Amino acid sequence: MGTNSEPLITLCVSGFPGTNRSLMNLEKTTGLSRHFVLRGSDAKAIDVKFYLEYIKEGKPKCVLFGGWSPVYDIFLKTLGNKKTEFGVYWTSSPGQIDISEEIKYMDFLLNSAKVKHRLFAHKELASALSGCTRDVRHLPDTVLFPEDEVEKKQRGGNNGFVISLFCSPFEYRRKNILNSLLALSMMKGGYILYLNGLSGNEFYLDVLKALKIRYADFGWMSDEEYRRVLDEVDLGLQVSFAETFNYVAAEHIVKRIPVITSRMVPVMDCMPGDIRKRTVVDDPDSACEIRGKIEYFIGNPSHLNPLGARMYNCLMRENESRIKTASEVLNSIIKRSKG
Amino acid sequence: MKDDGLNRIYTINDEIAHREIEGQILILRPDDNFLYTLNGSGRYIWLGIARKKKLSSIIRGVSKEFGIPEDSARRDVMEFVRDLEAKGILSEKG
C-alpha cells in the first residue's frame, strides 16, 4: 500500500474549513504532522476505511482530530486498543462555541477517557481549562507565507474599489454579516463587494437587493481560485462577533491587503496602535463605525499599500513566534506518546 | 524503429499509498491532504499497471473490457498514464 511512518497524523472532516486550514498550515509550518481531510461524516465511507487501514499500518504515535465529529468515533473504537494515542485540536473560541452551538462536542472532548491530548487554538480557553482538566494545552494557529508571492499591485486603483466579505455558509451569524452590509449600504457607492456564496442564501440575497449593494459572488472557491480572486481585493471586511484567529483576515494580510476587523479578531492583536486605529472596530454591532473605517480607505486609496505592507511585516514576526510554540507542543506530544 | 511507447511498463512510486476498497482505487500522494479515487476504466488501467503489464496489453484489455475501439483505448490509457506521471504517482520502469 505504499509506505507511511508519520509519528503524528491529523484528521479533520471537510465541513470544518477553518480547522482544516489550521491543520494544513501546521503540517507545512512545523513539518511535524501529516494532515488528511475526511470527505464527510459517514463512518462507512471508503475514505474512512482507507485512513483506518493507513493508520493501523503506519502505527503513528498520535492521531489528532480537528474539532469533533461523530465520524471520529470509528477511529477511537477501531484503533483504541493499539499503541496510538488520540487527541483533539479545538479551534473555536468560547464565544464561537456558544454562538455555533458546539457545547455538546466540547463536553465530549473534555470528558472522553479515550482523548489523551486536548489542544486549544484559543489561548485563554486553554488557560482556563488547564486549571480543571488534565492534558490541556494551547496550540496556536500558524500562517503559511508563500515564498514566491510578492504582491506589488497598486490597490484602490483604476479598476474600482473591491471590498471582500468572505466566510463559510455556516458562520454568517458569527461573522456579523448584516452590520457589514448595512455599513456598505450607507455609503455612496464607489465599490464592488466580492462574496464567496452569501447571495446563495435567499434571505441575504433579498437584503443585498434591498440595500442596493453592488456585488460579485464567486461561490465557494478552490484554493487556487480563492488566491486569484484575493489578488483583486483592495480591502477585506471581517468584523466578527467571536474568533479564535481568523484565517480569512490572515490570508488578506499575507497578500498585503488591509482588513477591517472587530476587536474580537485575534490576528490583529500583533498590530501597533496606529494600524488598529485605522482598521479595528470597537463596536461590531455599529454599522456606522464600520462604515467610517471603510470610508477612510476609499477616500485615501494611496494608504492601502503602505498599510498592507506594515500589516504583512507584523503578522510575519508574530507568525515566527507562533510556529516556535506550535513546534514545541507537537514535539512534546510525539515524545510523550507511548506508541 | 519508432518508439510508440506501447512496450513501456509503468510502476507505482514507492511513496504513494494506495488501496482498493469496494471496487474503487484510493490513492494518497505524500504531499496531498486529499485522496484520489479511480473507478471504471481508471481502476482497470491502475490494476494493469500494478500487475506490471505493458501498456499495449492494458490497451487491448481496456478495448475488450469496455467495448471501445483500440485507438480510443490507446488515447485513454496514454492520457491516464501521462496525467498520473505528471502528478508524481507513476514512473516509467527503467
With respect to residue B59, please indicate whether it lies within any of the assigned structural domains: yes
Report CB contact under 8 Å: B21, A2: no
pLDDT per residue as tens digits for the range A84-111: 899 999 999 999 999 889 999 888 888 8
Using CA atoms, how far apart are residues A108 and A36, in angstroms rounded to an integer?
Answer: 22
From the list A20, A37, A50, the residue facing B19 with the nearest CB is: A50
B contacts of A39 (beta carbons < 8 Å): 35
Comparing A8-139 with A161-318, is the CATH topology the same?
Answer: yes
Domain range list for chain A: 8-139, 161-318
Per CB-CB distance under 8 Å, the chain A contacts of B22 are 46, 49
The stretches in chain A having pLDDT less than 70 are 1-4, 81-82, 148-153, 156-159, 338-339
| Cβ atoms within 10 Å of A302's Cβ, excluding its own | 11
- pLDDT confidence of residue A212: 95
Report the residue of chain B nearest A46, measured CA to CA.
Answer: B21
CB contact under 8 A, B24 and A46: yes
Identify whether B2 is part of a domain.
Answer: no
B33:A20 CB<8 A: yes
Give the total number of structural domains in chain B.
1
Report the side by side order of strands in the sheet with A161-165. Answer: A215-217, A191-195, A161-165, A235-238, A259-262, A280-281
- Best mutation site among B26, B29, B32, B36 for testing chain A: the one with the most A CBs within 10 Å? B26
Q: Please tell me if residue B33 touches chain A, with a CB cutoff of 8 Å.
A: yes
Chain A residues lying within 8 Å of B14, measured CB to CB = 2-3
**Other beta carbons within 10 Å of A28:** 12
Q: CA–CA separation, B87 vs B7, rounded Å?
A: 22
Say yes or no for a CB contact (<8 Å) between A1 and B34: no
What is the Cα–Cα distance from B26 to A338, expressed in whole angstroms? 30
User: Hey, which residues does A235 pair with through a beta bridge?
Assistant: A163
Residue B16 at interface with chain A, using a CB cutoff of 8 Å: yes
Considering only CB atoms, which chain A residues are within 8 Å of B33?
A: 20, 24, 27, 35-37
**B5: in domain:** no
Q: Which of B18, B34, B37 sits opposite A1 (nearest CB)?
A: B18
Task: Look at A4 and B17 and tell me if their CB atoms are within 8 Å.
Answer: yes
Task: Report how many Cβ contacts below 8 Å link chain A to chain B.
Answer: 43
- Digit-coded pLDDT (tens) for A43-71: 999 999 999 999 999 889 999 999 999 99
CA distance A143 to A316: 8
Q: What is the mean pLDDT of residues B58-86?
A: 95
pLDDT tens-digit profile of B4-47? 778 899 999 999 999 999 999 999 999 899 999 998 999 999 99
Half-sphere exposure of A274 (CA within 13 A, CB side): 6
Q: Please write down the HEC assignment for all residues of chain A.
A: CCCCCCCEEEEEECCCHHHHHHHHHHHHHHCCCEEEEECCCCCCCHHHHHHHHHHHHHCCCEEEEECCCHHHHHHHHHHCCCCCEEEEEECCCHHHHHHCCCHHHHHHHHHCCCEEEEEECCHHHHHHHHCCCCCEEECCCCCCCCCCCCCCCCCCCCCCEEEEECCCHHHCCCCCHHHHHHHHHCCCCCEEEEECCHHHCHHHHHHHHHCCCCEEECCCCCHHHHHHHHCCCCEEEECCCCCCCCHHHHHHHHCCCCEEEECCCHHHHHCCHHHHHHHEECCCCCHHHHHHHHHHHHHCHHHHHHHHHHHHHHHHHHHHHHHHHHHHHHHHHHHHCCC
In the CATH hierarchy, which fold is given to the domain comprising A8-139?
Rossmann fold (3.40.50)
Residue B83: give the domain boundaries.
10-92
Number of residues written out for chain B: 94
Residue B1 has pLDDT above 50, yes or no: no
Quickly tell me which residue has 494518497 as its cell. Answer: B28
Is the CB of A54 inside 8 Å of chain B's CB atoms?
A: yes
CATH number at residue B60: 1.10.10.1150
Flag whether B1 is in a domain: no
Q: Which of A2, A35, A50 sits opposite B33 (nearest CB)?
A: A35
The span from the CA of A69 to the CA of B33, in Å, is 18
Q: Nearest C-alpha of chain B: how many angstroms from A101?
A: 28
Right CATH for A161-318 from 3.40.47.10, 3.40.50.2000, 3.40.190.10, 1.20.120.160 = 3.40.50.2000
From CA A74, how far away is CA A72, in angstroms rounded?
Answer: 5
Closest-CA residue of chain B to A34: B33
Task: Report the candidate in A210, A254, A212, A206 with the shortest Cα–Cα distance to residue A233.
Answer: A254
**Cβ–Cβ gap B33/A49 under 8 Å:** no
